[in-house]
Amino acid sequence: MLKKIKLASFVCFGLAIALLLYYFLLAATPIERDTSEKESIEYFLNLINSNSTETINKNIALIDENWEEGYQIMLIETIYFSQNNRHSGKLLKLLEKKTGKNFGYDFDKWFEWIWNKEETYPPSYFNFKAEIHKQIDPKFEKYFLNRSNTATIRLDEVRWGGVLQDGIPPLRNPKMTNALNATYLKDNATVFGIAINGDARAYPKQILAWHEMFVDTVGNEKVAGVYCTLCGTVILYKTEQNGINYEMGTSGFLYRSNKLMYDKATQSLWSTLEGEPVIGPLVGKGVQLDYLSVVTTTWGEWKKRHPDTKVLSLNTGHRRDYRDGVAYKDYFSTDELMFTVPKIDKSLKNKDEILAIRLPEESNENFAISSKFLKRNPIYSNTLGKTNFTVFTDKSGAHRVFKTKKVRFKDYNQEYKAVAENNTVWQVKENYLISTTGEKLERLQSYNAFWFGYKAAFPDVTLIK
């Protein structure tokens, strides 16, 4: 019995030692991995920051020796941001050797190639992204640092847009004027019109293109209007949710050529198209901003419909050339992209305008309706989920969408009057339709966008053209 007890004690002691060793190794592994990942970041940062041929050659050799597939995007971005053109050829040679691709310095092709593969970057890529971009703007660091577990989008598809945080300055509580004072606007000038609780306002494209965002209180609602010049969208969000007002700004970054916003409190990055955080501490907290309709129309048509409208004053507090057509003149004049996307869908031209209609709380369906199609069909009806809707397109080309339930329309004079199939006459107001019997049909939120950017953001969208 004593021998059995001694044997049992020995076995238990051995097991205890084995368990201690196991837990020691388990605890040590992450530390070693973290150290390795930190070192790998340093390899790439040294390539960007050093002018020493010896340092460059040493770090190229280390990357070559320790190569992992996840290094591909870091090496692409290292070459992209390298401050030393003298050594970029060596980096490119290593990249081509490791990938088997020969795209030279055509970064669009490199990005398109890597975006069409499964993501392979390591968690350390977030901190690498933080390190390289904080050298451009220290505020950029917070967007990425230690946030590998707080992302709902691919980080390698997040690209710097060439400006600092709020480098394209949002208009915060901008000065407005009345229609009579807006002598700088021609009647055919493009404006983005909103009307909230009787408060009608026009935001001319020629001003907003320089600022890409306005933050204001309209009709007693705190709102942010976000203009992505690259993808052609203007979306109006209510910024207050559950008692919290999210102070939004321009992050300086893009996702699939679509502008990313940020909120001041947490520095989380937000999707412009979906109104929700996609990287940062707010991800997964159930935060999603409600959005309201914006109509893209002409100044002449808008002020005719809303003679008491307010409109942006030229007194913005910034010195810009606000003449019509000046901002982004070259970009708007061609079908070329400034920032590429994973795939180009040639069903329409890149910058052909579409009307985006979504009801994410009700259906996964998503419609992109060609503006050219709608101009040929000024009354267009369809169903999204369980919601019947009708798009009315007026003479200026402006689209307004309404939840029309079981009402079917047969005529629209492209101004203020529509006639239903039962001959009931309806007035087309900004936020509702109203019949001669007093029945109201409410507006359905929608916005315009360029085809390429919307398709890139929502690959499964249904195109109607």
pLDDT digits (tens, 9 = 90+) for 398-444: 999 999 999 999 999 999 999 999 999 999 999 999 999 999 999 99
Q: Give the type of residue at 114.
A: I
Residue type, 360: P
For the chain, the three-class secondary structure string (H helix, E strand, C coil) is: CHHHHHHHHHHHHHHHHHHHHHHHHHHHHHHHHHHHHHHHHHHHHHHHHCCCHHHHHHHHHHHHHCCCCCHHHHHHHHHHHCCCHHHHHHHHHHHHHHHCCCCCCCHHHHHHHHHCCCCCCCCHHHHHHHHHHHCCCHHHHHHHCCCCCCECCCHHHEEECCCCCCCCCCEECCCEEEHHHCCCCCCCCEEEEEEECCEEEEEEHHHHCCCCEEEEEECCEEEEEEEECCCCEEEEEECEECCEECCEEEEEEEECCEEEEEECCCCCEEECCCCEEEECCCCCCCCCCCEECCEEEEHHHHHHHCCCCEEECCCCCCCCCCCCCCCCHHHHCCCCCCCCCCCCCCCCCCCCEEEEEECCCCCCCEEEEEHHHHHHCCEEEEEECCEEEEEEECCCCCEEEEECCCCCEEEECCCCEEEECCCCEEEECCCEEEECCCCEEEECCCEEEEHHHHHHHCCCCEEEC
Checking if the pLDDT of 34 tops 80, the result is: no
Contact 269, 140 (CB under 8 A): no
Rounded CA-CA distance 412/421 in Å is 11
The single-letter code of the amino acid at 94 is L
What's the confidence (pLDDT) of residue 40?
A: 79
Residue whose tokens read 């992050």: 251
Contact of 444 with 402, CB cutoff 8 Å:
yes
Above pLDDT 90, what percent of the chain? Answer: 86
* Rounded average pLDDT over 61-71: 94
Reported as a pLDDT band with limits 50, 70 and 90, residue 37 is low
More confident residue, 150 or 15: 150
To the nearest 10°, report the CA torsion of 458, 253, 225, 343. Answer: -20
The answer to whether 192 and 295 have CB atoms below 8 angstroms apart is: yes
pLDDT of 139 higher than 70 = yes
Q: What is the pLDDT of residue 87?
A: 83
pLDDT score at 200: 98
Cα separation, 378 vs 396, whole angstroms: 11
- pLDDT value of residue 31: 33
Q: What is the mean pLDDT of residues 180-208?
A: 97
Sign of CA dihedral 339, 343, 348, 353: negative
d(Cα 381, Cα 378) in Å, to the nearest integer? Answer: 10
pLDDT of residue 36: 66
Report d(CA 378, CA 390) in Å as an integer. Answer: 10
Residue with tokens 């009402």: 407
pLDDT at 344 over 70: yes
| List of residues 6+ apart from 244 with CB closer than 8 A | none
Q: Return the percentage of the chain with pLDDT > 70, whole number.
A: 92
pLDDT at residue 361, as a whole number: 87
177-203: average pLDDT = 97
| 379 pLDDT higher than 90 | yes
| Residue 379 zone, left/alpha/beta (φ > 0; ψ -120 to 50; rest) | beta
- When the pLDDT of each residue in the chain is averaged and rounded to a whole number, the result is 91
Q: Look at residue 294 in the predicted model and tell me its pLDDT.
A: 95
Q: Binning pLDDT at 50, 70 and 90, where does residue 128 land?
A: very high
Residue 42, class by beta-carbon neighbours within 10 Å (0-12 exposed, 13-18 middle, 19+ buried)? middle
Residue type, 267: Q
Q: Is the pLDDT of residue 285 over 60?
A: yes
Structure tokens at 404: 């029309």
The predicted pLDDT at position 11 comes to 34
Q: Is the pLDDT of residue 12 over 80?
A: no
Q: Fill in the amino acid letter for 333.
A: S
Q: What angle do CA 428, 174, 333 make, to 5 degrees?
A: 70
Q: What is the mean pLDDT of residues 74-80?
A: 95
- Confidence band, pLDDT 50/70/90 cuts, at residue 69: very high
Count Cα atoms within 13 angstroms, Cβ side, for 311.
28
Instruction: Tell the burial category of 55 from Cβ atoms under 10 Å away from its Cβ (0-12, 13-18, 19+).
Output: middle
- φ, ψ at 56 (rounded to 5°): -60, -50
pLDDT at 377 over 50: yes
What local confidence, expressed as pLDDT, does residue 49 receive?
Answer: 82
Q: How many CB atoms lie within 10 A of CB 326?
A: 12
Every domain of the chain and the residues it spans: 36-122, 171-332, 353-464
pLDDT at 375 over 80: yes
Say if residue 125's pLDDT is above 70: yes
**295-298, strands of its sheet edge to edge:** 176-178, 310-312, 199-204, 190-196, 295-298
Tell if the pTM clears 0.85, that is, is over it. Answer: yes
